A and B are shown apart, each in its own frame.
Chain A
């Protein structure tokens, strides 16, 4: 009986998938903003095909939406979650615009959105650094 309880407890501990911490989610958000930026740079240099670029930008946008929702529910300690949410929302907007501009093959407009995303990336990095220093 005791061994059975131990087995059940061990399995519960083993498979109790705790979600990533808010700080890890913020790092993930930074990684996806950086991915969108790298994919954007590559597209402007004619390195990647349109379909791949659009899909990657859409994936970045969707993932950032999910991460933003999670970060609102469980904020990163010491980080102004309202400001972070508005920053991530703005970044998503730039990425969505970039995806649309790939379809339209509008390079100048794409470059403008990419520049704005680069500014946002710097700010997300500041949030991530500040969260890391407070850990």
Chain B
């Protein structure tokens, strides 16, 4: 009975916690610019994420290691420190984007600019981290994030062309503007396959004391939770394709995205968008802050647990305190969170091999996983998607930068 409850809660929180500023902005931009044409990128990213999340949980359940401490143990500290540098730098940019997303949601609700929200938002995130437990962070924010289901309601209410949407699930290339199209695809993949999610999930499995009996549950949570989450991302793209593309609106600023659901849900659409962004970004900001602190603590051998009193894992608590404080600075300086989002999502794609290749080695190591190590299917799917993201990233990021 306890496991059924955990399973249900796991799926619900995976759905509620799936969307964040990166997935919303990239999907909305894709829909506004290219209609349904980039649905394939969300599909590809979601399939890869299902495999990666399942692997992260399996590694923790079987080996009782998080990805971070297994990477350090298996590859040694010098290699681990290179991985840490790349992953933490990109995760920090994503944290800035999420804090900015909360600020932008509050801006459209209150009329007070997002810069003014940087400090209050950071204090709230920090307080929740300081006072909260892992359960509060994992479940609380994600349950609030269920408001993002409104994107699916809006998309369906606008009567999409289902045939056209199905056609968008197959990759195509546009006649012109290939760099921008490629950059948007890369950003979608980066938003879908966020390494911080794997680190958070595997650490969570250790926090929740998973063992091998949790393997089937892990598979169901990863499969159903991520699939439903992927559908929500697709719903954002479809809603943007139906509400913004016919009007010729390209999303450069958050204010433009705020109109996404109004044609379908009128006044409710505006407020549901604002609260969706508020809760989705809050959940993501908590998870990323925690993931970065886990990364340092597990990598450097400190004691760590979100369930411990901060006085008992002071270096862990100090890390997230500093990270959240630093995350507020770019926002105080007025740096546009949407620009940070797009760049951080594309950079996530570019740095994916750094996170995923050592992880694949671990998942094939019988010392850690015994009979539960990866099969050919998991290895192939993840390797192919990572290769596609990486190639697209190294081609399109320079082209997009040169193209302004």
Contact = CB atoms under 8 A, between A and B. Distances in A.
Interface of A: 13-20, 24, 27-28, 30-31, 34-35, 37-39, 42, 45-49, 51-52, 54-56, 59, 63, 125
Contacts of A35: 249, 255-256, 259
A37 B259 contact: no
Contact of B111 (A27, A47, A52, A63): A52
A28 B404 contact: no
Contacts of B270: 42, 47-49, 52
B403 A38 contact: no
Contact of A28 (B111, B250, B258): B250
A51 B111 CA distance: 5
A31 B401 CA distance: 21
A56 B270 CA distance: 13
Contact of A34 (B110, B249, B398, B402): B249
Nearest to A24: B404
Interface in B382-404: 398, 401-404
Nearest to B266: A47
Interface in B352-388: none
Contacts of B10: none
A102 to B, nearest CB: 12
User: Secondary structure of the B side of the interface?
Assistant: helix
17 contacts: A13-B398, A18-B402, A18-B404, A31-B249, A35-B255, A38-B249, A38-B262, A42-B270, A45-B266, A47-B267, A48-B262, A48-B270, A49-B111, A51-B111, A52-B111, A54-B111, A59-B253
A56 B403 contact: no
What are the nearest 7 A-B pairs in CB distance? A51-B111, A31-B250, A56-B255, A20-B404, A34-B247, A34-B248, A47-B266
A80 to B, nearest CB: 21
Chain B interface bracket (under 10, 10 to 19, 20 to 34, 35 or more)? 20 to 34
Nearest to A31: B250
Contacts of B267: 46-48
Contacts of B153: none
B323 to A, nearest CB: 27
A52 B258 contact: yes
A48 B111 CA distance: 12
B108 interface: yes
B252 to A, nearest CB: 7
Given A47-B262, A52-B111, A52-B270, A28 B402 contact: no
Nearest to B397: A14
| Residue of B255, B262, B270, B398 with most partner-chain A CB within 10 A | B255
Contacts of A17: 401-402, 404
Contact of B247 (A18, A37, A47): A37
B252 A47 contact: no
Given A18-B403, A47-B269, A125-B248, 7 more contacts: A27-B248, A34-B248, A48-B270, A49-B111, A49-B270, A54-B111, A59-B253
